[in-house]
Amino acid sequence: SQTIHQWPATLVQPVGSPLSLECTVEGTSNPNLYWYRQAAGRGLQLLFYSVGIGQISSEVPQNLSASRPQDRQFILSSKKLLLSDSGFYLCAWSTGQGLGGYTFGSGTRLTVV
């Protein structure tokens, strides 16, 4: 069966520090991968999605970047965090065939102080 792992679960980082969140998927190949951010427990905003290794599409301009170095690995990064980067970050995967939506990871709560 397919599983998705996301870590860390919580993170407190100072302003100006770098960020690296990792997401990996098991049990499937060539998944579509996504990074979402959720502010204040409401509304999920799509940040990045990837349909293959090295292929990244950005949905909104921001202080973050994403990379997909391997088929089932998706990384969210920042060189210098801002206070406004605080939020709940969710990774998700789908088959990309429009069948049944996404499976989400358990999320990373990021607090920038």
Partner 1 sequence: GQQLNQSPQSMFIQEGEDVSMNCTSSSIFNTWLWYKQEPGEGPVLLIALYKAGELTSNGRLTAQFGITRKDSFLNISASIPSDVGIYFCARETSGSRLTFGEGTQLTVNP
Cis? peptide before 31, omega within 30° of 0: no
Contact 85, 78 (CB under 8 A): yes
- Binding footprint of partner 1, residue count (CB under 8 A): 28
Closer residue to partner 1 (CB): 39 or 82: 39
**Least distance to partner 1 from the beta carbon of 95, Å?**
8
Long-range contacts, 49-52 (Cβ 8 Å, 24+): 50/74, 51/96
Given 84, 96, 111, 113, the residue binding partner 1 (CB under 8 A)? 96
Burial of 57 (0-12, 13-18, 19+ CB in 10 A): exposed
CB atoms near residue 112 (< 10 Å) = 19
Which residue stretch of 11-19, 63-71, 72-80, 90-98 sits at the interface with partner 1 (rule: CB under 8 A)? 90-98
Nearest CA among 10, 34, 29 for reference residue 101:
34
Which residue stretch of 12-20, 62-70, 76-84, 98-106 sits at the interface with partner 1 (rule: CB under 8 A)? 98-106
Q: Using the rule CB under 8 A, is 13 a contact of partner 1?
A: no
Given 57, 70, 77, 84, the residue binding partner 1 (CB under 8 A)? 57
Find the radius of gyration of the CA atoms of the chain.
13
Contact set with partner 1 (CB under 8 A) = 6, 32, 34, 41-44, 46, 49, 51, 57, 59, 90, 92, 94-98, 100-107, 109
